[in-house]
């Protein structure tokens, strides 16, 4: 047995050395058994079984007062705990009571993070059993505020920090992480955290929150999840001056310096964890997000949540809404405010689905979709100055320089906000939508709540109760004219945990658009 294991490991290390030291491959990559995770030769960790005092401090195994009498004897816990034995159910009740007493959402967030550091199973039990109540705490919108204040609330690292200082040593850094069998990595460089902008290294809250959902909603083991923040600096002046800032105190590296660090990271991940590890890109700025996805989409199992996850969940929402507003996808006119990752990602998936349904080429179906950015409607006369990901949306049309005018001339049936800028669906915009639509579909997708294009209350009130509304961040039900309206939530959280689970358990090594369409269905 020993020698077989050794041979296997030696075999793996030779294989790694020969073929996995650089980013290479592509769709024709050999789809063999992954051995990267078996290569433990240089890992300095020893596996030990915690007992006694250490067991109580090991969040993976600690049960607190729920350790039974028998377990207290078996694991040298006698005397280390008060005599009462309480069930996990009672622990849950106690924690929910105390979390509900906090009025400030950030206090609830901190309480949840402390629980995760103390008793991981209880953390997930609580999250799973109270998902509607706790999702807005560990995830959007509260996680946004947590990132803004991450330096002040930071207690213990919950993921890996890979900064420019680690250049040339990223593989070693990955080996410092105590878990070997990683299935899902969520990585950010913190440049566009939700709609809050550049939060640098403090963006770590996002991978941590996303991966908590991978476990709670997708059922992936916590030990197989790895949150990573790549720190290349920040252009956020406030953070650079903040004495509690936890990141590199320099402006963002760009160009070749940035590309080289990311390339080393992507190679190291594949070398260390193999072909089947899922890397989810999260909250990168537009200018890097599209490029990274295009570059690594053919060599790695990568998925951009903001482009592809959001697209999939929003298309699902639109298709579901057709039951209320009528028509087929192809019969609707779409107008977007925001032409970044989410906007163009959703637009493209809608165009693709219409193309599948009608057999029309996607170049044609794109024409049903118009996008407005900060400079107005995206039209062909602007083509030369547009970023490449906006070019497919530059249709023949007169220039229109603001959203309200675009709504009036295009008369969309579906209005989608993905600009990251709050309060942009004004009363005039919603009233215009309601003037030519019996049931205008309004999606205010930007996060967190402060960046939402409008609130649920505004959408229902200004449309006199006729809007069909969903938002990226959750809103409470709202009563209008004696009727209670329950807004939908259109957030990629409704898809990425299941989508990622599907990728991981199927052993996929690349992500394709068909998978996004299937997930959306
Ligand atoms: O995190 C969320 O709530 C959704 C998302 O990906 C984003 O807004 O960037
Ligand atoms: Mg995101």
pLDDT band at 51 (very low <50, low <70, confident <90, very high): confident
Provide the pLDDT for residue 50: 79
**CA 417 from centre of chain:** 18
The kind and range of the H/E element at 337 are strand 334-337
- Tokens (6 digits) for 499: 């989508």
* Domain range list for the chain: 2-86, 139-300, 309-494
Which of 306, 345, 449 to mutate to test ligand 1, by most ligand atoms within 8 A of the CB atom?
A: 306
63, 109, 139, 368: which one is catalytic? 139
Which of 140, 141, 446, 473 to mutate to test ligand 1, by most ligand atoms within 8 A of the CB atom?
A: 140
Query: Residue 443 pLDDT more than 90?
Result: yes
CA of 309 to the centre of ligand 1 (A): 9
Provide the pLDDT for residue 19: 38
Which of 145, 283, 445 to mutate to test ligand 1, by most ligand atoms within 8 A of the CB atom?
A: 283
CA of 189 to the centre of ligand 2 (A): 11
Length of the chain as a residue count: 521
Q: What angle do CA 212, 213, 217 make, to 5 degrees?
A: 130
Provide the pLDDT for residue 278: 98
Q: Which residues are annotated as a binding site for a divalent metal cation?
A: 282-283, 306
| Angstrom distance (rounded) from CA 127 to CA 497 | 14
Is residue 398 exposed (0-12), middle (13-18) or buried (19+ Cβ within 10 Å)?
exposed
In tens, the pLDDT along 255-295 reads 999 999 999 999 999 999 999 999 999 999 999 999 999 99
Tell me the CA end-to-end span of the chain in Å, nearest whole number: 47
CA of 93 to the centre of ligand 1 (A): 30
| pTM (2 d.p.) | 0.91
Q: Which CATH architecture has domain 309-494?
A: 3-Layer(aba) Sandwich (3.40)
CA of 240 to the centre of ligand 2 (A): 23
Identify each DSSP E strand in 349-490 by its residue range.
369-373, 376-377, 414-417, 441-444, 468-471, 478-480, 483-485, 488-489
Which residues 6+ apart lie within 8 Å of 238 measured at CB?
none
- Tokens (6 digits) for 66: 């729920």
Query: Residue 144 pLDDT more than 70?
Result: yes
Domains 139-300 and 309-494 share a fold: yes
This model of the complex carries an ipTM of 0.99
139 part of the active site? yes
Q: Which residues are annotated as a binding site?
A: 192, 282-283, 306, 447, 491
Lowest-pLDDT range of 35-44, 181-190, 398-407, 454-463? 35-44
| Angstrom distance (rounded) from CA 137 to CA 144 | 10
In tens, the pLDDT along 405-439 reads 999 999 999 999 999 999 999 999 999 999 999 99
In which residue are the tokens 């946004």 written? 144
Query: Residue 224 pLDDT more than 70?
Result: yes
Helix, strand, coil percentages, rounded to 5, for the chain: 50, 10, 35
Average pLDDT over residues 447-460: 98
Residue 371 bridge partners (DSSP): 336
Contact 454, 423 (CB under 8 A): yes
In degrees and rounded to multiples of 5, residue 300 shows phi and psi of -135, 165
20, 108, 210, 276: which one is catalytic? 210
DSSP structure string for 161-225: EEEGGGTT-HHHHHHHSS-----EEEEE-SSSBTTTB--GGGGGHHHHHHHHHHHHTT---GGGE
Which residues 6+ apart lie within 8 Å of 399 measured at CB?
376, 377, 379, 381, 382
In tens, the pLDDT along 11-49 reads 333 333 333 434 544 444 444 445 454 554 555 666 677
Provide the pLDDT for residue 42: 54
- Tokens (6 digits) for 293: 């996805």
Nearest CA to ligand 1 atom 2: 140
Q: Is the CB of 489 under 6 A from ligand 1?
A: no
The CATH classification number of 139-300 equals 3.40.50.10380
């Amino acid at each position: 047995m020993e020698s077989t294991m050794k041979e296997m490991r030696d075999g793996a290390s030779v294989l790694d050395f020969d073929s996995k030291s650089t980013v290479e491959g592509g769709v024709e990559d050999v789809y063999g058994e992954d051995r990267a995770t078996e290569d433990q030769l240089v890992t300095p960790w020893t596996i030990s079984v915690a007992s006694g005092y250490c067991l109580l401090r090991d969040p993976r195994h600690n049960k607190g007062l729920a350790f039974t009498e028998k377990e207290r004897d078996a694991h040298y816990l006698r005397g280390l705990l008060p005599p009462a034995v309480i069930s996990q159910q009672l622990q849950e009740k106690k924690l929910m009571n105390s979390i509900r007493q906090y009025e400030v959402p950030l206090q609830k967030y901190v309480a949840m993070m402390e629980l995760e550091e103390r008793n991981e199973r209880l953390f997930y039990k609580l999250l799973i059993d109270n998902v509607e109540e706790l999702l807005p705490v560990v995830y959007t919108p509260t996680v946004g505020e947590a990132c803004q204040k991450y330096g002040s609330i930071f207690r213990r690292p919950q993921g890996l920090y890979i900064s420019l200082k680690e250049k040339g040593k990223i593989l070693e850094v990955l080996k410092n992480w105590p878990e070997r069998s990683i299935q899902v990595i969520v990585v950010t460089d913190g440049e566009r955290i939700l709609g809050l902008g550049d939060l640098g290294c403090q963006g770590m809250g996002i991978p941590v929150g996303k991966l908590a959902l991978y476990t709670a909603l997708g059922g992936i083991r916590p030990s197989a999840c790895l949150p990573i923040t790549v720190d290349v600096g920040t252009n956020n002046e406030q953070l650079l001056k903040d004495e509690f800032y936890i990141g590199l105190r320099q402006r963002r590296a760009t160009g070749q310096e940035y590309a080289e660090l990311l390339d080393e990271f992507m190679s190291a991940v594949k070398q260390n964890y193999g072909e089947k590890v899922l890397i989810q890109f999260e909250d990168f700025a537009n200018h890097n997000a599209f490029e990274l996805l295009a570059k690594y989409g053919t060599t790695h199992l990568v998925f951009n949540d903001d482009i592809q996850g959001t697209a999939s969940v929003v298309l699902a929402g639109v298709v579901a809404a057709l039951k209320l507003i009528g028509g087929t996808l192809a019969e609707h006119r779409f107008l977007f405010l925001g032409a970044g990752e989410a906007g163009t990602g959703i637009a493209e998936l809608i165009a693709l689905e219409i193309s599948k349904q009608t057999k029309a080429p996607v170049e044609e179906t794109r024409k049903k979709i118009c996008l407005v950015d900060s400079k107005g409607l995206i039209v062909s006369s602007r083509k030369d100055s547009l970023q490449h990901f906006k070019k497919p949306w530059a249709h023949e049309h007169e220039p229109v320089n603001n959203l309200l005018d675009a709504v009036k001339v295009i008369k969309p049936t579906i209005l989608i906000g993905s600009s990251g800028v709050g309060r942009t669906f004004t009363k005039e915009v919603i009233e215009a939508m309601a003037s030519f639509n019996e049931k205008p579909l309004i999606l205010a997708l930007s996060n967190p709540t402060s960046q939402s294009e409008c609130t649920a209350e505004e959408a229902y009130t200004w449309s006199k109760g006729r809007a069909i509304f969903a938002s990226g961040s959750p809103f409470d039900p709202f009563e209008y004219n004696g009727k209670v309206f329950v807004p939908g939530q259109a957030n990629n959280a409704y898809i990425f945990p299941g989508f990622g689970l599907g990728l991981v358990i199927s052993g996929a090594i690349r992500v394709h658009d068909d998978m996004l369409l299937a997930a959306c269905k």
